Amino acid sequence: MSTNEARDTSMKDHLHLASVEALSHIKNQLQEMSEKEAQKKHLPLLGQPWGASLEHCIFLGLKYCEDFEKKVRYYGIRRNLDPSDYRYQLSRVPLPHPLVAIDFYGERK
């Protein structure tokens, strides 16, 4: 392995570890809340990703929601899934990891 290849591998490993640490940090700050509680408190919905795990859904939030890490405070696991939603259909397919549906909420302004 050349020096450049070793440096690239080292950088990728470093970025991966930083990502894992960031996801863990965000996950540890979240509180679980039901959809009913969030509606009662009028919390803003930040996103509703489907993913392989809570961590994967956090990653999607970071990728697609502006300032997600600053805004997100609560999450809820969606229980009443719409059978007509294509993601529901995918969640029924045997995959290595079944899909989960998560709602992310911020603080009320």
pLDDT of residue 94: 63
Residue 83: domain span: 3-106
- CA gap 23, 33 in Å, rounded: 19
Q: Is 62 exposed, middle or buried (0-12, 13-18, 19+ CB in 10 A)?
A: middle
pLDDT of residue 108: 87
Q: How far is CA 91 from the centre of its chain?
A: 16
pLDDT of residue 14: 42
Q: What is the pLDDT of residues 29-82, one digit of tens each?
A: 999 999 899 999 999 999 999 887 888 899 889 889 999 999 999 999 986 666
Bridge partner list, 105: 45, 74
Secondary structure class of 55 (helix, strand, coil): helix
Domain count, the chain: 1
pTM: 0.72
pLDDT of residue 48: 92
